[in-house]
Structure 1
Amino acid sequence: MSTPFRDDTLKVALAQITPVWLDKQGTLEKVKQSIEEAANSGAELIIFGEGLVPGYPWWLSITHASAWDNRIQKEIHAHYAKNAIQIEKGDLRSIQSLAQKHQIAVYLGIIERPQDRGGHSLYCSLVYIDAQGEIRSVHRKLQPTYDERLTWSPGDGHGLQVHSLKSFTLGGLNCWENWMPLARTALYGLGENLHIAVWPGAVRNTELITRSIAQESRSFVISVSSLMRKSDFPADTPHLDVILETCPEVLANGGSCIAGPDGKWILEPVADTEGIVYETLDFNRVLEERQNFDPVGHYSRPDVLQLSVSRERLHSVKYE
């Protein structure tokens, strides 16, 4: 076998960490510490879990969140919104500066409160920051899952983008979006060969679909999850007594993992461990597996089957 070109290998870092729950600044500090650690270990790409900043809305499933006009639910939601990320106001500038300083690319899951939709509703967004510190895409989750719809808004196709990093083409989706075959296909059609799947944290979510997407796409697939335990809720959380009343001891046990383009494990799901896991990927493995199957290339029939994708950033009001 020939020796791979330097651009054909990529050292990746999977940051499986616990947020400082519903504390934007506290969680951003943990993110920055992880970026520093990963950069010092030679990583070229670091990935964080779904909605890590400021955290997943765990209270929804354990506090009767669908109760109408409920004071407790309103107050928790307001606290959540105040700690959401406002990109337009510079909330991610410190992360961008670190990425530029260390020449490391970042995929970061955030809860976004965007000004272009009025500045009050929340979106589960996946942000890609390149190694020059520029935000290249903000993908708002197309369809919040089940009880998530009580606090998150549905996104649009604007963030269905891919990004070049050395020989690789990266794309990413949030949690159960990864089960949406057309969303995956939209990224395959842009040349994706390293798929990023971010999750709130559970081995049960990542252990099957990570390998399945890899087999379907003949790409590398990296799943990154967070951790969350009952003991991780900060003491100043609004209505903490209500949240803890029926809260399980473990809400998120991790499950970060990597599958290769042949669908086999490179890194099996890591559970119950906080920290950063590293692997080096070889781009040549993609070309090897595309020899017999390429879902949007030689093994496709665009004369029979085609996908139409709208990448318009949707707005409720258009000003002339």
Structure 2
Amino acid sequence: MLKVAVAQIAPVWLNRVATLEKVVSKITEAGEEKCQLVVFGEALVPGYPFWVEHTEGAIFDSDLQKDLYAHYVDQAVDVVRGDLDAVCKAAKDGHIAVYLGIVERAQDRADSLYCSLVYIDAHGEIQSVHRKVMPTYEERLVWSIGDGNGLQVHELGPFKVGGLNCWENWMPMARASLYAQGENLHVAVWPGNYRNVYDLIPVIAKESRSYVIAASGVWNAADIPDDLPHANLLKERMKGTLANGGSCVAKPDGSWLIEPVTDREDLFYTELDHQMVRKERLLLNVSGHYSRPDVFQLELNQERQNPLKKKNPDT
């Protein structure tokens, strides 16, 4: 059995340090409950770019958008700099693995921003940073297009766990790339809305015959901090609940282990029985006996994409 926690929390919006403090607190709490994995929502640190949709984000050369973007870059997570050190320490101290959604400021891409899903093992070591391969719709105004480097699975007790960001979970080949690596525990992270999970999560579970954890955030525009650039305008334009949660867990047969929960911050606990995966895969195993590699093959490029490729002049 694997005990897991789903952390449905709100960011301290666009404040990296304060949001990371909340994350560390929840990791510690889940560790004290003897969980082996805790999962947080998409772009939780420092928060989802809700303003783009509500402030005419596509207007070219807008001073408003430049100000907000510059603040977003400043508050984004620089993994190389060590912004996640406290998270890694909490994971190590609690002997618990962590999946955490961040907005990553990438040193290797001149500080461009990526919607990234970070896996930290129970030793406190970062094992993968998956940059969302295709941001959705208006997200592309602030987030860059990622690559396949982080499309990896990780050993976790009897399971192999992998994860995708938000609408990547609708991408058949992204899912298949994880299935083919032996994934049997799938993590789907979202900024937070019930409508995103209620139909898709059971489908992924039935397709993969895996457990599926969906971790979502919650957030209300009433929590816009006063010290943000253009805070008064944001408060005028953005109203009510923008992320209502929907965190849930589905069994390998598609039934609910935890039904979608909305409109509250909390840690949700459950235990996963690996034997159920094996039982359900008698009927369907999409990367095993039910696959046809002589007919269908998927090529995965896991190289980290960078515009500069250096050549040694002496070779």
Q: TM-score, normalised by structure 2?
A: 0.98
Secondary structure at 1:65 match in 2: coil
1:99 equivalent among 69, 85, 91: 91
Give, in angstroms, the shift of residue 35 of structure 1.
0.7
Query: Quick one: which amino acid aligns to residue 215 of structure 1?
Result: K
Aligned partner of 1:88 in structure 2 is 80
Is 1:207 the counterpart of 2:198 in the alignment?
A: yes
Please point out which of 8, 14, 21 is paired with 2:6: 14
The aligned counterpart of 1:133 is: 124
TM-superposed deviation, 1:248 = 2.8
Say yes or no: does 1:251 pair with 2:242.
Answer: yes
Say which SS state the counterpart of residue 199 (structure 2) adopts.
helix
- The corresponding residue for 1:192 is 183
Mapping of residues 1-320 of structure 1, within 5 Å: 9-118=1-110, 120-320=111-311
Q: Which moved more, 1:238-247 or 1:85-94?
A: 238-247
The two structures, once aligned, show a CA RMSD in angstroms of: 0.7
Query: 1 CA distance for matches of 2:235 and 2:94?
Result: 40
CA deviations on 1:214-268 (whole Å, 9 max, x unpaired) are 0100000000000010111111111112222231300000000000000011110
After TM superposition, the runs of 4+ consecutive aligned structure 1 residues lying more than 4 A away are none
Structure 2 residue runs of 5 or longer lacking an equivalent are: none
Distance 2:234 2:137 in 1: 19
SS at match of 2:123: coil
CA distance in 2, matches of 1:303, 1:96: 42
Task: Note the alpha carbon deviations across 1:105-139, whole angstroms, 9 max, x for none.
Answer: 00000000111112x21000000000001000000
Provide the rounded CA distance (Å) in 1 between the counterparts of 2:79 and 2:238.
32
In the other structure, the counterpart of 1:4 is none
Q: How much identity, in percent, do the aligned residues show?
A: 54
SS in 2 for 1:257: strand
Letter in 2 for 1:33: S
Find the aligned partners of 1:233 and 1:191 in 2 and give their Cα distance: 42
Instruction: Quote how far apart the aligned CAs of 1:279 are.
Output: 0.4
Give 2:31's aligned amino acid.
Answer: A
Give me the whole-angstrom Cα distance separating, in 2, the residues matched to 1:239 and 1:69.
Answer: 16
Cα deviation 1:20-75 (Å, max 9, x = unaligned): 00000000000011011111111110000000000000001100000110001000
Match of 1:6 in 2: none
Letter of the structure 1 residue corresponding to residue 51 of structure 2: W
Show CA shifts across 1:199-224 (max 9, x none).
Answer: 00000001111101001000000000
Distance 1:108 1:180 in 2: 20
Structure 1 residues without counterparts, runs of 5 or longer: 1-8
**Cα offset, 1:273, TM superposition:** 1.1
1:275 Cα offset (Å): 1.1
Checking the alignment, whether the CA contact within 8 Å between 2:112 and 2:143 is kept in structure 1 is yes
How far apart are residue 271 of structure 1 and its match?
A: 0.4
